[in-house]
Structure 1
Amino acid sequence: MQRVVVDPEVPRDVADLFRRNGPLLYRLRTKRPPRDGDAPRVPGVLTGIFGGTVALAAFGLFLVGAPFAESVVLLTALSGFYLFILGMVYLARKPSPADSVERLLYAHAHHWQGRFLILEDFDYDARHLLGRVQRAIDHILRSRVNAMGMLDSVRNSVMLPAEEWEIARLLTKLSALRARHRHLARGGRSPEVAAAMAPLERALAASEAAVLARVEALERYAGHVSDAERALLSQGQIDALRAHLPEYEQLVAETGAARFSGPEIGHLSDDADMLRRALRESVRSAHEAFRHLDG
């Protein structure tokens, strides 16, 4: 599932809050925002009812001539019962942690309005492309070759989120224009309207192709990173085999099978050298793809 896309200039803690609460951000757009005045208060209606009840009880006790001590006990019991009810009502209305998150999220969303994009900002086609972008970026940033510094990990951590934001921003514009275009074309077109809309459709198609080219460039970069990952893994496995090569050579010598060992075991060294070259080539290709992506 696609995550919320956040402008890299938004502070990291706020960006992480947005990414964790995509559905809640959407709900905040579609309902009345939380306000400080929504905090729970002592229910005034209950206070009024209690005051009236105590007054009536006191007046009734006065009329029947009840002893003072019994009157005090009864009125104290009424007060205790009221406080119990009031406490239960307060606990029921006390803000939950989710309410606090919603209030904080709304404050940040209002402050950083226009600097984050949620799933509902994209149409179906745009969501599909955004998913491809995010999968490619995640694969690159989580790769071993990136963690080991074989790629430009520092630039990756800066440039790739910026590329995600820029592509996402363009996709939201395309989504809005496509929706408007479909609305204008609804109900049929006369030849004159079709002729007038043709240049706009060509411009829209050219823009879609340009965004798609950026997505594919990002995926090519991720593909080269995958090649380097496979070469790195294979090289590690071959190096582990080579570490045990003396044991195999000794066994072959002891069993008198030396005439079979030379060419076969010698391939390990050739394979290791080939994988090192493949790894260097994969990393070089990744760097070239990065430079192409970087413009």
Structure 2
Amino acid sequence: MGVVVDPGVSPEVAGLLRANAPLLSRIRAGWVPPAEVPSPRPKSPTSAALLAATPVMIALMAVLLASPIRAAGFVLLGTYVFIVLVRIATMNEVTEGRRPYDRGVYEQARWYDGRYLLPEDFDQEARAVLLRAQRAIGSVLRSHVNAEGLLDDARNAVMLPAQEWEIARLLAKLSALRVEHRELLARGIAPEVAAVIEPLERALVNSEAAVLARVEALERYASNVADAERAFHARSQIEELRARLPRYEELLAESGADSLAVPEIERLTDDADVLERTLRRSVQSAHEAFRYLEG
């Protein structure tokens, strides 16, 4: 389960948010990227001098190490290595190219705060319910009957994402309250508070049942669409076979076996009519389920 975004957010920003769940979690936790991107600094005179002096230093150290004052060679080597390490530590980081992108995600996340939800906003029970809703919605939007306009594809494209967002929003609230409630119970409840706790628990249970009813309505709609989808594919196959039927009849006539025509072939037209009626009934049932979703 990824980031759930309010369908009112533009597709470009919604895609950016959905693609950066880990970064959004860091931003939620308080991480802030650098406000400005430092321009790459040119090599300083110190860096150039170090590079130019390296061959000379190596030759000098070799001479000193081979001479009676070899201890001076070790001192010179240690000093030079220390200077190089300090210079490396002060160089620019390699990750500068990533900073503008992170900053862009941060700014959009701040601007659209409250209009997207992260996986950590849902407890385990809520996550399972939301996944059910997302599966139902996805199966409808990906169906051929929706793409072919047999359903109200325009309303589906608007209403189903709105349903997903509303369900996710309610589940996130429910999850937060459940976490707080469990923490309260874990600390121990005084007998005097027990009477107040019961109606709160009923409120949680009733709210969960109401959200679950929405999800089950979506699943019924998806089930009706699946029935229409099966009828649609079967009808397409029957129509394809009907188009081939004259070739079969021609073959039977030319081979002198037309009297042995298989009755099942002759029933193709009847089968097509039955599937057409089945498809209409399935689509009608889907429309009725859709109206139920609209309330």
TM-score range normalised by the length of the shorter chain: 0.7 to 0.9
Aligned to 2:63: none
1:48-106 per-position Cα deviation (integer Å, ceiling 9, x unaligned): x949x99xx9xxxxxxxxxxxxxxxxxxxxxxxx9xx78x934x44512x332211010
Q: CA RMSD in A?
A: 2.8
8 A Cα contact 2:34 2:99, kept in partner: no
Aligned to 1:95: 96
Q: Return the offset for 1:254.
A: 4.8
8 A Cα contact 2:235 2:272, kept in partner: yes
Q: Give secondary structure in 1 for the equivalent of 2:151.
A: coil
Bigger Cα displacement from structure 2, 118-127 vs 27-36: 27-36
Q: Which runs of 5+ in 1 are unaligned?
A: 58-81
Q: Distance in 1 between matches of 2:263 and 2:287?
A: 36
8 A Cα contact 1:227 1:282, kept in partner: yes
Aligned partner letter, 2:7: P
Identity of aligned residues (%): 54
Q: Return the offset for 1:234.
A: 0.6
Q: Distance in 2 between matches of 1:94 and 1:42?
A: 14
1:246-268 per-position Cα deviation (integer Å, ceiling 9, x unaligned): 23333444555555536332221
Aligned partner letter, 2:18: R
1:23 equivalenced with 2:25 (yes/no): no
CA 1:193–1:265 in structure 2 vs 1: closer, same or farther (change >3 Å)?
A: same
What does residue range 31-180 of structure 1 map to in structure 2 within 5 Å?
Answer: 31-37=30-36, 39=38, 42=41, 50=46, 89-90=91-92, 92-93=93-94, 95-96=96-97, 98-180=98-180
Aligned to 1:239: 239
Q: Distance in 2 between matches of 1:254 and 1:41?
A: 83
Aligned to 2:280: 280
Q: Distance in 1 between matches of 2:95 and 2:125?
A: 43
CA 1:144–1:119 in structure 2 vs 1: closer, same or farther (change >3 Å)?
A: same
Q: Distance in 2 between matches of 1:225 and 1:293?
A: 14
Task: Give me the TM-score of the superposition, normalised by structure 2.
Answer: 0.79
Q: Distance in 1 between matches of 2:204 and 2:115?
A: 24
Q: Distance in 2 between matches of 1:212 and 1:147?
A: 28
Q: Return the offset for 1:131.
A: 1.1
CA 1:93–1:13 in structure 2 vs 1: closer, same or farther (change >3 Å)?
A: same
Q: Distance in 2 between matches of 1:94 and 1:271?
A: 65
Q: Return the offset for 1:161.
A: 1.1
Task: Give me the TM-score of the superposition, normalised by structure 1.
Answer: 0.79
Q: Distance in 1 between matches of 2:8 and 2:146?
A: 23
Q: Return the offset for 1:134.
A: 1.3
What is the count of residue pairs matched by the alignment? 259
Q: Return the offset for 1:187.
A: 4.1
8 A Cα contact 1:228 1:282, kept in partner: yes
8 A Cα contact 1:40 1:94, kept in partner: no
